[in-house]
Structure 1
Amino acid sequence: MKFTKMQGIGNDYIYVNCFEEKVENPEQLSLRLSDRRFGIGGDGLILIMPSETADFKMRIFNADGSEAMMCGNGTRCIGKYVYEHGLTDKTRITLETNSGIKQLELHCDGKTVQAVTVDMGKAILVPREIPVESDSQEPFVAKPVQVGDRLERITCVSMGNPHAVVFCDRIDDLDLERLGPEFEHHPIFPDRVNTEFIRVIDNHTLQMRVWERGSGETLACGTGACASVVAAVLNGYCPQGEPVLVQLRGGELTITYQADGTVMMTGPAAEVFQGEINLS
């Protein structure tokens, strides 16, 4: 099977062109190939597929084999892949995901995609739709929740997958190997949750670390950056309708939470290498 390793600010996945390759049992394949010692290594597996409703379709599987709804960094990498590998000559494309059809705008220099802007759709704030267990269906903003031995104030947002955002004075020295699973498997999150730990630098700049369900701490999470900016606006840290720079361990994303509730994400994507693996 031929594959391409790509990364969006350090969020690395194994991409397979399903216009040419047939993938059976992608859940087990992701678990096998994502292993950084015994496989190719990555945060998971992404399939680039034909679509009946959009230009292309993506399916994404975490490193533990579970299927995810969406991946912001993955969508940008797909935009770069399909353009640079000749699957399209359009710079505005549509991408079918498990959380709806996303609009991508490719920023090109000649035949090279330098950055991609993704219309991530509207942020979901109704608790049962995120989902998060709550006595109220008002937005879950700065609610106190006991997590392990800590009382945390959590803001919950879905960008097609569930996110819990926590604002902290310091994030560099947080023990995410301990904290991350406590959030991910907390009983108020029936589908588990991705957790963003955020330090507000100023009203247009956030610093972020992320624990992703099924993958652990990653260098970046596009939907998490979007959810964090939405949460920062809801908590009064950042203005709505203006671009906010999110600094992640793998790089930077620019996120705008627009007045109509839509979230726009702009950032880079890179191809690391191509290869072929024997699956027998």
Structure 2
Amino acid sequence: MNIHFFKYQGAGNDFILIDHSASPIKDIDYEWVKKICDRRFGVGGDGLMFLTSHPDYDFEMLYFNSDGRPGSMCGNGGRCIVAFAKHLGIIDKETNFLAVDGPHYAKISAEGNWVELQMIDIDTIGRDGEAYVLNTGSPHYVARMENLATYDVYHEGKAIRNNETYKKEGINVNFVEDKGDHLFVRTFERGVEDETYACGTGVTAVALSMALHKQQSGHLKTPVKVLGGDLSVEFDYNGRQFTNVFLCGPAEKVFEGELNW
């Protein structure tokens, strides 16, 4: 059986998307997902998403990591599936959809290539030594760093993700360098088990952690550079809680094709 798919990317974070809006998804073959996400034997992607129907929302986002297993919230994936929903004619300029961490609101440009996705509110940020630990829909570890461009993110991030504290559940490991007018971020992602070009929930976690670190408050907008391009995070912080958190950036269709199901 052939199934039509689309490939989208958001700041280099790339995803395979499949329209299943006519009916719910059942009996996912995890090995099939893993194979399709493989960059040599499949289409290749950091993850795969099904857009499926939901009675109370415009659509539901079902996300799978490239290891084939169901994933936690993916911010760039969320932005890409909003662009996909617009392409399909399911939404226009705004949407309310359901993801694994709950409902999300998003706005999309008329051209359909710029998406502002509302993330969950955050009221708890922990510490692990000098690092910050928080959950922005996915669990994240945030470490400040200098000379990040030449840092060994793969080996250092893998070591933290697999240490005794985080090995069982896994954690995404972010390294950030404060460049003054923007933050530079690199991320080792669980589920992909490698460094990715961008991580939306990771960029969000970094922006909030750095606001706490620098004792900032009010309405804040944080420009962020990742390996795959530019993103920004906007939010309100009153010294206790982060609200109205939006992950903003590009979401672009790359190509489409047919898969053997």
TM-score w.r.t. structure 2 length? 0.91
Deviation (angstroms), 1:251: 0.8
Report the secondary structure of 2:107's partner residue.
Answer: strand
2:196 to 212, 218, 221: 218
Deviation (angstroms), 1:256: 1.6
User: For the residues of structure 1 that align with 2:215 and 2:70, how far apart are their CA atoms?
Assistant: 33
Deviation (angstroms), 1:97: 0.6
Deviation (angstroms), 1:176: 2.1
Deviation (angstroms), 1:123: 2.1
Report the secondary structure of 1:243's partner residue.
Answer: strand
Match of residue 149 from structure 1: none
Unaligned runs of 5+ in 1: 126-138, 145-152
Change (3 A) 1:26 1:256: farther
Aligned-residue sequence identity (percent) comes to 29
Unaligned runs of 5+ in 2: none
Change (3 A) 1:240 1:232: farther
User: For the residues of structure 1 that align with 2:84 and 2:211, how far apart are their CA atoms?
Assistant: 33
Match of residue 49 from structure 1: 52
User: For the residues of structure 2 that align with 1:176 and 1:197, how far apart are their CA atoms?
Assistant: 8
1:261 to 213, 217, 242: 242
Aligned residue pairs: how many? 252
User: For the residues of structure 2 that align with 1:85 and 1:70, how far apart are their CA atoms?
Assistant: 22
Deviation (angstroms), 1:73: 0.7
Match of residue 206 from structure 1: 183
Root-mean-square deviation (CA, aligned residues, Å) is 1.8
Which stretch shifts more, 207-216 or 52-61? 52-61
Change (3 A) 1:238 1:220: farther
Match of residue 93 from structure 2: 91
Match of residue 115 from structure 1: 114
2:149 to 172, 190, 202: 172
- For the Cα contact (< 8 Å) 1:157–1:163, is it kept in 2? yes
Deviation (angstroms), 1:239: 5.1
Task: Say whether 1:273 aligns with 2:259.
Answer: no
Deviation (angstroms), 1:20: 5.4
- For the Cα contact (< 8 Å) 1:197–1:209, is it kept in 2? yes
Q: Deviations over 1:28-66 (max 9, x none)?
A: 222110110111111111111111332110111111112
Deviation (angstroms), 1:75: 1.1
Match of residue 140 from structure 1: 126
TM-score w.r.t. structure 1 length? 0.85
User: For the residues of structure 2 that align with 1:218 and 1:174, how far apart are their CA atoms?
Assistant: 14
Task: Say whether 1:68 aligns with 2:67.
Answer: no
